[in-house]
Structure 1
């Protein structure tokens, strides 16, 4: 994913059979935000709190083990949707890998 983000941005969302979700966002070959709920909620990256405003807007407080009305998977699907990554409803069953979406370029800072 880091190589795919060189010159642009990339988002990875992994929700497997086990409980928990891994959400990673990278820009220009660097991990900006990594969020992992597979065990204890963990953050990584150069800006691990970048999506807190969006998570709070979805009534989620991951550090308090509160993921909002859609649960942890729903929360991270919604975050991905904010980037224009769409997951068709039939793919939301998580019975096979799903590749979908296109990110907008990172906003100029």
Structure 2
């Protein structure tokens, strides 16, 4: 099944507007009045924290796929050195973003 342009954009918008509603749902559904440390994962309690962490890991891992596909396309098409440098810069930003998020969450879990 192939999507036309309108369906494709509608699907993206649906995902963009649906996913951000998941964290507030988890916070409200699993709320317990207690003091927590000041960190993003602390807003989620009990099972909500586990579900939120799994959702974030899934999204961050799925983020790697477009970068990998773009890297393959850049290599196969013999693009300019500017394009390769630009992509490498974006790739490093993504690696540091995902890596620092993962490190922060792991560190908080160790505490």
TM-score range, shorter chain: under 0.3
Structure that is richer in strand per residue: 1
Structure that is richer in helix per residue: 2
**Bigger relative CO (Cα 8 Å, ≥ 6 apart):** 1
